[in-house]
A = this chain, B = another copy of it.
Amino acid sequence: MIPAGLIGYGYWGPNLLRNLQLSGRFEVKGVAELERERLDLARRAAPGARCYADALELIERPDIAALVIASPVATHYPLARAALERGKHVLIEKPMCRLAEECQELIALAAARRLALMVDHTFLFTGAVQKLKELCSSGALGKVSYYDSLRVNLGLFQPDVNVLWDLAPHDFSILDFVLGAKPVHVEATGHCHVNSNLPDIAYVTLHCAGGLIAHFNLSWMSPAKVRRVAIGGDRQMVVWDDLDRDEKIRIYDSGIRLHAPDERFAIVPGYRIGDIHSPRIPNTEALAGVVAHFADVIEGRAKPIMGGEHGLRVVRMLEAAQAALDASLARVRGLS
């Protein structure tokens, strides 16, 4: 068992703790958390672990080999750097850091010390995303022409993160992992409704190499939660509705055929509407897979699926989208 510590016991921390405990691969020896009440909860949930208000005390412990960092985004870089410098393997909650250059520094540090450095893009370990990856890699979809994501809900407003940094990491991570997308041009716009400095609605469009267009509709202002991603290829198309209990993935055997240019009326449309297939998606907890993979990477049994480089590419896309969003907001402000 790998002796491990957990930093941050907020929203995601309890899930990390539970999966570390159940994995049979890690022994959780310490938990660090600034808020007293949260720390008390951690104490009850992890009777064998020591609790810290100061994360650095936990990082200093020589008997700990791995650290899981689930604290606010701004703290990811200093805590991860401190941990790597002390020779600990590190799993960081997504997004990896606030800046691409911070990610690069961590990557270099981990490489120099031969330490595992991973980012917890949990979605990549869900059955649904694994299936999307399989459909795209196997050529079942044909040439992929678009990725369209509707990712909206009510809240969760956080003081240190806007809607882009809250929701887009999922889509950027999937775009990179599933489609290997290379953005050529990024556009973004949105609005700050509740807090005038914090966008709570954002629309992002990525024009990628090879003619792929990706669009995300991200909102904290939607009364109904929607998690719907459509991916269209020239052979098949797929819709992933993550909130559908029984049929998360629907594969459409549908396609488009160009009309002859002289046709006047589109009465008989040139598209093919075919069967729909919903493959069975195993209903396992993705985070359990993340934790097991982290152990495998530490023990040298696997290369990281979502290592530092993946985390860096996601942060780069976030930076580009943020810059485009800022420019659009400024332009609109100037006009009103």
Report A213 CB to chain B, min CB distance, Å.
4
**B residues within 8 A CB of A213?**
190-191, 201
Contact B269 A280 (CB under 8 A): no
A305 in contact (CB, < 8 A): no
Knowing A10-B265, A217-B217, say if A276 contacts B256 (CB, 8 Å). Answer: no
Report A193-219 CB contacts with B as 1/0, cut-off 8 Å: 111000001010101010101010101
A245 in contact (CB, < 8 A): yes
Q: Which residue from B35, B219, B237, B266 sits with its C-beta under 8 Å from A264?
A: B35
**B residues within 8 A CB of A331?**
185
Q: Which residue from B195, B232, B266, B335 sits with its C-beta under 8 Å from A221?
A: B232
Q: Which chain A residues in 267-319 approach chain B with CB under 8 Å?
A: 267, 269-271, 273-280
Contact B217 A222 (CB under 8 A): no
A72 in contact (CB, < 8 A): yes
Contact B269 A157 (CB under 8 A): yes
**B residues within 8 A CB of A203?**
203, 205, 215
Contact B266 A184 (CB under 8 A): no
| Nearest B residue (CB) for A154 | B271
Contact B10 A154 (CB under 8 A): no
By size class, the interface of chain A is: 35 or more
Cα of A72 to Cα of B158 in the assembled complex, Å = 47
A19 in contact (CB, < 8 A): no
| Nearest B residue (CB) for A282 | B273
Contact A155 B185 (CB under 8 A): no
Cα of A259 to Cα of B155 in the assembled complex, Å = 10
Contact A280 B273 (CB under 8 A): yes
Ordered nearest first, which 4 A-B pairs have the shortest CB separation?
A223-B252, A276-B278, A223-B237, A223-B254
A residues whose Cβ falls under 8 Å from a Cβ of B: 10-11, 34-35, 38, 47, 72, 145-146, 148, 150, 152, 154-159, 184-185, 187, 189-191, 193-195, 201, 203, 205, 207, 209, 211, 213, 215, 217, 219-225, 230, 232, 237, 239, 243, 245-247, 250, 252-254, 256, 258-259, 261-267, 269-271, 273-280, 328, 331-332, 335-336
Can you name 25 A-B residue pairings with CB atoms under 8 Å?
A35-B265, A145-B191, A145-B221, A146-B201, A146-B219, A155-B256, A155-B269, A155-B271, A157-B259, A159-B261, A159-B263, A184-B332, A187-B189, A187-B328, A189-B207, A191-B207, A191-B211, A193-B211, A194-B258, A209-B336, A217-B217, A224-B250, A224-B252, A253-B280, A275-B280
- Name 18 extra pairs, CB < 8 A, besides A184-B335, A222-B230, A278-B278: A10-B264, A11-B266, A145-B193, A146-B221, A152-B230, A155-B271, A156-B269, A159-B262, A185-B335, A189-B205, A191-B211, A195-B258, A217-B217, A223-B252, A224-B230, A224-B250, A276-B278, A277-B278
